[in-house]
Amino acid sequence: MIEALSSLITVRLNERADGVIILDQTRLPGEEVYLTLTCAKDVWEAIHALKVRGAPAIGIAAAYGLYVCARRIDTEDPVAFREELRKVKDYLSGARPTAVNLSAALERMEHVLDTHPMASVPVWKELLRREALAIREEDAASCRRMGEICLRLLRPGMGILTHCNAGHLAVSEYGTALAPIYLGQERGYGFKVFADETRPLLQGARLTAYELSKAGVDVTLICDNMASTVMRKGWVQAVIVGCDRIAANGDVANKIGTSGVAILARHYGIPFYVLGPTSTIDLSCPDGDAIAIEERDPGEVTEMWYSARMAPKEVKVYNPAFDVTPHELISAIITEKGLFYENNE
User: Annotated binding residue at 62?
Assistant: no
Pairing of strands 252-255, 245-247: antiparallel
Q: Select from 28-36, 168-176, 298-306, 327-335 the region that touches ligand MRU (CB under 6 A).
A: 168-176
Q: Phi first, then psi: what are they for 108, rounded to 5°?
A: -60, -40
Say which of 42, 139, 196, 244 is annotated catalytic.
Answer: 244
Rounded least distance, CB 75 to ligand MRU, Å: 35
Gap between the Cα atoms of 15 and 166, Å rounded: 27
Over the Cα atoms of the chain, what is R_g?
20
Instruction: Please tell me whether residue 242 binds ligand MRU under the rule CB under 6 A.
Output: yes
Hey, what amino acid is at 62? A
Gap between the Cα atoms of 83 and 99, Å rounded: 25
- Four-CA torsion 141, 146, 147, 152, nearest 10 degrees: 140
Q: Phi first, then psi: what are they for 73, rounded to 5°?
A: -70, 115
Among 118, 103, 111, 98, smallest CA distance to 164 is for: 98
Instruction: Please tell me whether residue 243 binds ligand MRU under the rule CB under 6 A.
Output: yes
CB closer to ligand MRU, 112 vs 195: 195
Task: Count the Cβ atoms, other than its own, within 10 Å of residue 71.
Answer: 16
Q: Phi first, then psi: what are they for 340, rounded to 5°?
A: -85, -30
Instruction: Please tell me whether residue 53 binds ligand MRU under the rule CB under 6 A.
Output: yes
CB closer to ligand MRU, 56 vs 184: 56
Among this protein's residues, is 244 annotated catalytic?
yes
Instruction: Please tell me whether residue 166 binds ligand MRU under the rule CB under 6 A.
Output: yes
Among 265, 317, 305, 335, smallest CA distance to 101 is for: 335
C-beta contacts of 131-135 below 8 A and 24+ residues apart: 131/63, 131/67, 132/13, 132/60, 132/63, 132/64, 132/66, 132/67, 133/13, 135/59, 135/60, 135/63, 135/105, 135/108, 135/109
Instruction: Please tell me whether residue 321 binds ligand MRU under the rule CB under 6 A.
Output: yes
The contact mask relative to ligand MRU for 170-189 (x = CB under 6 A, - = no) is: xx---xx-------------
CB closer to ligand MRU, 119 vs 290: 290
- Which of positions 77-106 make contact with ligand MRU (CB under 6 A)? 99
User: Annotated binding residue at 54?
Assistant: yes
- Which of positions 182-241 make contact with ligand MRU (CB under 6 A)? 203
Rounded least distance, CB 278 to ligand MRU, Å: 13
The count of chain residues that interact with ligand MRU, using the rule CB under 6 A, is: 19
User: Annotated binding residue at 206?
Assistant: no
Rounded least distance, CB 50 to ligand MRU, Å: 6
Rounded least distance, CB 123 to ligand MRU, Å: 33
Rounded least distance, CB 272 to ligand MRU, Å: 14
The contact mask relative to ligand MRU for 123-162 (x = CB under 6 A, - = no) is: ----------------------------------------
Rounded least distance, CB 189 to ligand MRU, Å: 21
Q: Which residue is closest to ligand MRU by CB?
A: 242
CA angle 114, 115, 121 (to 5 degrees): 65
Hey, is 57 helix, strand or coil?
helix
User: Annotated binding residue at 255?
Assistant: yes
Instruction: Please tell me whether residue 255 binds ligand MRU under the rule CB under 6 A.
Output: yes
CB closer to ligand MRU, 93 vs 254: 254
- Which of positions 261-320 make contact with ligand MRU (CB under 6 A)? none
Hey, is 134 helix, strand or coil?
helix
Among 280, 271, 257, smallest CA distance to 340 is for: 280
Q: Select from 38-46, 147-155, 164-172, 225-233 the region that touches ligand MRU (CB under 6 A).
A: 164-172
> Hey, which residues are catalytic here?
244
> Which residues are near ligand MRU by CB under 6 A?
50, 53-56, 99, 164, 166, 170-171, 175-176, 203, 242-244, 254-255, 321
